[in-house]
Structure 1
Amino acid sequence: MYLYLSVAFGLLAISAVQSSSSNGGGFNLRPFRINLSSGVSRMLNFVNNTQLPGGPEYLGASAGIPLDTLKSLRAEWLTRFDWDKEQLAINAFNHFTAEVEGLTIHFIHEKSRTPNAIPLILIHGWPGSFLEFLPVIDPLLQNSKTSTDTPITFDIIIPSLPGYAFSSAPPQNWTIDDTARVYNTLMTDVLGYSEYATHGTDWGSFVAYSLYGNFNGSVRASHFCFLPFSPQSPTELAALNVSLSPLEAYEEQEAMTFDSSGIGYTIEQSTEPNTIGLALYDNPVGQLAWIGQKFLNWSDPRAGTPPSVLDHNEILKSVSLYYLTKSLVSSMYIYFQNPEALKTVYSKAQTDAPMLFSGFKYNPGFWPPALVAQVGNLVLYRNHDFGGHFAGIDNPPALIKDLREIGTYWA
């Protein structure tokens, strides 16, 4: 399906490149093809020669990734994982790079056949990448309808954050707002969209919220699975007279547990990204432990069973991308450069653009509707009892369905 649609839309994407280039934006917009195969043999050789403890485990999963799980993932990496096969599927989409404010920005750009399709930029976080949105691309390109029978289809743009995958590392003192400004330039000046919608998760929600509040002339709708505001405690919610359903009460408890015992990685990456980053830079099994644990802990325990596609192969693909692109250290800079990005005081963005929000049961952050409504023009809130932090691979059908609701409020 990926390959078929890539051929169908490839000419449209190439036409977009030619059109943008001929308009003279000076952004050096060009097609891009991924070719990381030359590094795979060395990577797997390191994986094969890495020694892991052979004794029993004395601590449970609360101490980090279990040793048996890491051993199992390592064995799959060596025996079943096929980077060349994954790379072929990834390259079935149309990739590009552009130069904006001195940064090389890598992105996927897939155009619908529908002339009035809504441009939608999907923004990932850490330890995600553009990979986590691949399962939703093809369905969102197709003609469909919202819950109110409004016709809907999208043009899809998926950039790699600065310092991630094939996007160049950001300079010193680079902020979330800087990335948002570059992305707005990408959408409006490079690709020629006067208006567009956004989706953000994890750090991508910080960028998307900056776009939502600061570029309200071009951003006309935003969907979120995460927010750049600190979740509230049960006491704080009670003070706001917020009552919770059983599902919400579970999510609130998970968020509080994460806040008390799950943020060690954040402290390390916010204060000493070079220490952990350089320690793991040329250690694929180390990156597997550091990144893989987040995928395992922040996803639905049923991950890998439908509708989830977040299986071990997906984790290995993501870790391979980080290792082969040598981007682990630079991906952590966003923490160090934005230590105060998570706001503790709720304030509403200065825009009338509709805001949509999707909650997922095992996402480590939780915001009930009353909180989301404090920060934007909330028009739709949905909460799902399947899925976690990486909705694009943990529950793609739900994310697709919710994103389509943008069409109900697009004006």
Structure 2
Amino acid sequence: MTTSVELSVAALSLDPGQSDAEAHTPPIAFEVKPFTIDLSTRATRMISLVKAAQLPDKPAFPGLGSTFGADLDKMKELQSAWTTTFNWSTQQEAMNKYPHFTAIIEGLTIHYIYQKSKNHGAIPLILIHGWPASFLQFLPLVEPLTTMGKTSTGASVSFDIVIPSLPGFAFSSPPPVKWTLQDTARIFDILMTKVLGYKTHAVFGTDFGCVVGYSMYSKFPTNVRSASFDYIPFIALMPDQLTAEGIVLDDYGKFAIQILVKTATTGIGYYYEQSTEPNTIGLALFDNPLGQLIWMGSKYLLWSDPRAGTNGSLVNTDNILASISLYFLTESFISATFTYAQNATSFGTVYTRAPTDAPMLFSSFKFNNQYWPKEIISRVGNMVFYKEHDFGGHFPSLDNPTEFVDDLREIRTFFK
């Protein structure tokens, strides 16, 4: 079966080229090394565990679907696909067609993909994932973003793409116990400026990645000259709070805010568990790939546009299983989960403005699990672009990659 990842790689299949930024030899101190993914041996055991695991024949309370969490029927479908049509070796081969590296920064091994554009004037752009995602989330963007495209005004644009794995995720080593996402912002700034040698660059962050990206935007204004987000590190306001602020929602906003309310009232059990007892759920599911699928894979279904698989959506069985397989095979479920406990207050309750004049862009996707109207976004940065999308959810690079790429290309219009 041909996957979306394979299609992206097939279109790429070019050696990294030069952009207007000079090629830099990474400083020896960072021990930069090419990296190849090789997890096939572990994958054999993983599939054996999935085959041996048993789910109930029928729901204990029929007819509820995903009302109270994971849908049993859908989980059984994914389990079956994992042991029949899914092929880790094919996925791994596709991943390895991208240029992977590791660097040692402040004692941590940081894994990243670094794909340069062959076009003159390419903008360096770092893409930062969250949970339960990984670098895989952004692979469909690499080819269109490194290839010359156009902004809405017809300007030519391409990017040098950097996709790091957060500390504790995939191939990046777990951080110390008191490590915060602000610490990650510091080392990602080092990655962009000292390891890769860029004087200025742009950043996109989503989910926990928005905390990292916004911290880079705020704390390193000389280096980060444009930032794009679909999440911001501030707790979204409820309907009564928006009313008190004098913010009137249109039809799009009224729909999106109801998803936020549903998430806040019935969809945050995982958040409390991971913020307070990450080791409990981490140890419980450490050697249980099906359990990890139910815990994390269900989020891809719950947080994505319900029309997944249509309108260019890449939220499909293979992509979900590849993501969960990566967590299991790299044994990063526990360390990734600890990010919640280490950053319990990373989303602020008081909206403050970043001390920078760098432009900030924001993309809102209708089925995302959080919603911030443009009046709120304008308070936290130099907002120059705000766009609402009727299709898409929490994983826009999979939910709605075409329109998401268009939004990222608008960075060219404002980059300075």
Range of TM-score over shorter length: over 0.9
Match of 2:58?
A: 55
Cα 1:146–1:11 change in 2 (3 A) is closer
Match of 2:41?
A: 38
Question: Counterparts of 1:99 and 1:173 in 2: how far apart (Å)?
Answer: 19
Match of 1:186?
A: 191
How many pairs are equivalent? 407
Q: Does 1:27 align with 2:33?
A: no
Runs of 5+ consecutive residues of structure 2 not aligned to the other structure: 1-6
Q: Which moved more, 1:256-265 or 1:184-193?
A: 256-265
Question: Counterparts of 1:266 and 1:16 in 2: how far apart (Å)?
Answer: 43
Instruction: Determine if contact 2:112/2:162 at 8 Å carries over to the other structure.
Output: yes
Shift of 1:154: 0.4
Match of 2:235?
A: 230
Match of 1:160?
A: 165
CA deviations on 1:186-227 (whole Å, 9 max, x unpaired) are 000000001000001000001000001000010000000111
Shift of 1:25: 4.4
Residue identity matched to 2:176: P
What's the TM-score, normalizing by structure 1?
0.96
Shift of 1:7: 4.4
Shift of 1:12: 5.7
Q: Does 1:9 align with 2:7?
A: no
- Out of 342, 349, 356, the position equivalent to 1:344 is 349
Secondary structure of 1:85's counterpart equals helix
Instruction: Determine if contact 2:174/2:335 at 8 Å carries over to the other structure.
Output: yes
Match of 1:286?
A: 291
Match of 1:397?
A: 402
Question: Counterparts of 1:203 and 1:398 in 2: how far apart (Å)?
Answer: 22
Question: Counterparts of 1:100 and 1:325 in 2: how far apart (Å)?
Answer: 20
CA deviations on 1:346-368 (whole Å, 9 max, x unpaired) are 01000000000000011000000
Shift of 1:403: 0.2
Runs of 5+ consecutive residues of structure 1 not aligned to the other structure: none
- Out of 381, 385, 388, the position equivalent to 2:386 is 381
Instruction: Determine if contact 2:82/2:321 at 8 Å carries over to the other structure.
Output: yes
- Out of 319, 322, 327, the position equivalent to 2:332 is 327
Runs of 4+ deviating beyond 3 Å: 1-7, 10-13
Cα RMSD, aligned residues only: 1.6
Q: Percent identity?
A: 48
- Out of 68, 71, 79, the position equivalent to 1:74 is 79
Shift of 1:5: 5.8
Question: Counterparts of 1:186 and 1:346 in 2: how far apart (Å)?
Answer: 28
Instruction: Determine if contact 1:57/1:67 at 8 Å carries over to the other structure.
Output: no
Q: 1:183-332 alignment to 2 at 5 Å?
A: 183-332=188-337
Match of 1:151?
A: 156
Secondary structure of 2:211's counterpart equals helix
CA deviations on 1:96-137 (whole Å, 9 max, x unpaired) are 000000000000000001232100000000000000101111
Residue identity matched to 1:213: S
Instruction: Determine if contact 1:25/1:189 at 8 Å carries over to the other structure.
Output: no
Residue identity matched to 1:348: R
Question: Counterparts of 1:264 and 1:16 in 2: how far apart (Å)?
Answer: 48
Residue identity matched to 1:383: E
Match of 2:122?
A: 117
Residue identity matched to 1:273: P
